[in-house]
Amino acid sequence: MSFLGLSSNKAKAPKKSSHGSSLQKQYLQKEYAEQTLGSGNLRLAVHLPEGEDLNEWLAVNTVDFFNQINMLYGTITEFCTPQDCPVMSAGPKYEYHWKDDFQFKKPARVSAPVYVDHLMSWVQAQLDNEAIFPSKIGVEFPANFKTLVTDIFRRLFRVYAHIYATHFSVIVSLGEEAHLNTSFKHFILFVKEFDLIDPKELAPLSDLIESLISQTKN
């Protein structure tokens, strides 16, 4: 029962949001999200703000969730080692193998720390790719942008799944459970709002998701 881990045992440096529109626009989007999060209305926080571009909203939130998950994982890296987490999993029924288009062209069974290290580096490379996440005003997002974002969110979910399945007792001991639950609830509401993850992929945490969603304000 394992699945998280950075080979360096350090979280990646947070990625800054800077896509396609002005900094002022990005600030307003983030301010909107923070205001709605602060009100406790997570359902409202995930809605596309009136007049905003969908791809821009997806991009800004992709960066923010990447940073959130990265920091949450960073709190438990010393407990997620190749010895404690020899495979990437989310409980006994769910094991994840790493695959990319470069070093691992076929799915490979690796330890959780190695898996997460590859995952975070893979996401960071996409966020830094101007052809996918343009930072210049007026540059269009690629036509398949939502598909690319879907793949990112699908894999980021696995980090949450591993934390809950394997390291939740550590999270509780650190007093981080409220932060984790709020972040995960926000994440799930967002992916459901924009249909970013196949429900089958969410199966490892289906009971938790149902419980969190039922507690969320309409």
- Residues in the annotated binding site for Zn(2+): 80, 85, 162, 167
Binding residues: 80, 85, 162, 167
- 151 by DSSP, 3-state: which? helix
Torsion (CA) 146, 140, 120, 37 in degrees, nearest 10 = -70
What are the residue ranges of helices labelled H in 75-111?
none
Which residues lie across from 95 on neighbouring strands?
89
Angle formed by the axes of helices 23-38 and 54-74, nearest 10°: 60
Q: How far apart are CA 155 and CA 153, in angstroms?
A: 5
Query: How many Cβ atoms from other residues are within 10 Å of residue 126's Cβ?
Result: 16
